[in-house]
A = this chain, B = another copy of it.
């Protein structure tokens, strides 16, 4: 099955609405002492929701169970959102604005921001373990995939490398290792978790993993390119920030032209993985890869 750009836009609109509704339903407004407001502020009404879309596109490719896929989509976004809340804090990147709004710690204070992030991580695993509606074995599988993507060997580990590498000369392999963990692990997990929502052949599972890996890296390469080629107004965040923070990027390591070629190469790898997956409903995953590589912000 192939879908055109119009079908893809319609699919995306529908799925984004489903994700927003689920996030709004499951991130509690009534958590005590303002914690719920801080959590909702950190996760609702913003963000491209790329990770949930990857979960849902992969689940659609394998004809996965809807309830499980939607929960997985919300869970990965909660992990992503908590990491931004903690990343923005003064002891990390010290950002005061995100998507044009005050960051969580500016609005609610540092202590509440830290707790909100902590509670968002726990909530991701609550969402994955409902009383009913998702087979227990699938719940366990999704919890296993998400925790490994979020923890020391994934996102948190990548952030530690990032912290330690500011101002240091990194070669491409070291840079790839950092991004592989920091942003790549959760993007790849999004695809793999979506794929886990049905029983599929090993080659399809491997192909989804490879697609997720290529796409995760492509995302970061494009991020680095946009950081030096786009205005802050288009990016919705401060352009040139990595450069001024003396952080190693694909552009600083490879140069702009080679970075662009690398993104195209990763895009081709992602599509090649889908082609060898044996799956027939990969149109949304194809379109998401194009979106990641050709985005303007």
Q: Which residues of A contact B (CB under 8 A)?
A: 28, 31-36, 39, 82-83, 86, 89, 91-92, 109-112, 114-115, 117-119, 121-126, 128-129, 136-137, 139-141, 143-144, 146-148, 150-154, 156-161, 163-165, 181
Copies in the complex: 2
In whole angstroms, how far apart are the Cα atoms of A64 and B201 in the complex?
35
Within the complex, which residue of B31, B150, B152 is in contact with A152, where a contact is CB–CB below 8 Å?
Answer: B31
Majority secondary structure, A binding face: helix
Say how far A158's CB is from chain B's closest CB, in angstroms: 8
A153 touches B117 (CB 8 A): no
- Add 5 more A-B contacts to A39-B152, A86-B118, A143-B143 (CB < 8 A): A31-B153, A33-B160, A35-B156, A92-B111, A115-B163
A159: chain B residues within 8 A (beta carbon): 115
A144 touches B126 (CB 8 A): yes
Evaluate whether A128 and B114 lie within 8 angstroms (CB atoms) in the complex, with A33-B164, A121-B121, A122-B151 already known. no
In whole angstroms, how far apart are the Cα atoms of A121 and B128 in the complex?
15
A136: chain B residues within 8 A (beta carbon): 136-137, 139-141
